[in-house]
Structure 1
Amino acid sequence: MSSAIFATYRSALLSQPLSAVWRGHGSAIFLEFGRLIPRTRHDGTPGNPQGAYTVMIEWSWRIEDEGSILCGSWSDEENWGDVFTALIGREVRDITIFGRLPELSIALAGGYYVASFMTADGQPAWTIFDNSIERPKPGYISVREGSVLADTDV
């Protein structure tokens, strides 16, 4: 795992507010951090806004508080919205990698946590996108062959 590249993304995310949470295909979730920018889909309709940083967890995720699991990718979907709403505006307190194969844990203000934990074969299915204006095009880190790699490494 490239700890240097993860450390760069980690330091950029610390203290960023969670500005939006939205659901992708299936149980995929997207967490948008920092200032939101409106997006338009290819068909011209409004899309989900994009933050300076985006965390995508394709499946196998859960959201916790200090004492329990509030919801997860296998929970009743009708309860997700209230939990997602409770996270909006909370700042990132820490973001870490855990496990032999790198899973992601995001600690938010107020004792909330978002964690990935792949339960199918393959690799942990999370990506952090850097959409910040300092980059000519978005960059990202994700897990490949058991290591955290940047877009330039894949």
Structure 2
Amino acid sequence: MIAHMTDWIEHFRAAACGLAVAHVWRGHGSALLVELGALTSTTRRDGSPGEPQGEIGLMIEWSWRIEDGRSIVCGSWSDEDLWPPTFAHLLGRTVQNLSMFGRLQEVVLSLAGDLHVASFMTAEGDPAWTLFDRRGPRPVAVGSRSGVIAVER
């Protein structure tokens, strides 16, 4: 078991770097999900096909933005018509870095081509992101809770 916040950050940085963005999709509301590496198909409770999951995943429930080298391309408060072409532009991009910023940890996924996916909570409570590592027999999920990186149960 990884004991320290910096260990979890390094775990996900090492796991994500070099993987390609394989799937980007919209969850409930404005939730953004970025799937990295090899995809695995999923099935919903009703038996219909679900969204595929990557080896590593990033979910930002809300208050996210996608940046290029000079501006914010779109975000959770942007016109939703901007989302699909921007999501498509992320596909196939290789992860260059995964880092944290802010006193209450927010996440930035930096991709080839100077593109960045960042969480940026603007409401009370905790930042609303989760990282998933689905490579092993027991998937691991971590997020920012009460100012620290914590394992999700």
TM over 0.5: yes
Residues 6 and 141, structure 1, Cα contact 8 Å, conserved in 2: no
**Within the alignment, does 1:63 sit opposite 2:66 as a pair?**
yes
CA distance in 2, matches of 1:5, 1:80: 30
Q: Are 1:76 and 2:79 counterparts?
A: yes
Work out the CA distance in 1 between the residues paired with 2:116 and 2:12: 18
Number of the residue aligned with 1:86:
89
Look up the SS of the partner of 1:19 in the other structure. Answer: strand
Moved over 3 A (4+): none
Gaps of 5+ in 1: none
CA distance in 2 between partners of 1:46 and 1:20 (Å) = 15
Q: Residue 20 of structure 2: which of 17, 22, 26 is its match?
A: 17
Contact in 1 for aligned 2:132/2:141 (Cα 8 Å): yes
Distance 1:63 1:123 in 2: 20
* Number of matched pairs: 150
Residue of structure 2 in register with 1:101 after alignment: 104
Residue type matched to 1:129 in 2? F
The amino acid that maps onto 1:118 is M
Give TM-score, length-normalised by structure 2. 0.95
Question: Which residue number corresponds to residue 27 of structure 1?
Answer: 30
Is 1:147 the counterpart of 2:145? The answer is no
How far does residue 137 in structure 1 lie from its aligned partner after superposition?
2.3
Which one of 35, 39, 44 corresponds to residue 41 of structure 1? 44
Q: TM-score, normalised by structure 1?
A: 0.94
Q: Is the 8 A contact 1:129 1:140 kept in 2?
A: yes
Identity %: 49
**Residue in 2 that maps onto 1:130:** 133
CA root-mean-square deviation: 1.0
Partner Cα separation in structure 2 for residue 22 and residue 71 of structure 1: 14
Cα distance in 2 for partners of 1:136, 1:125 equals 25
Gaps of 5+ in 2: none
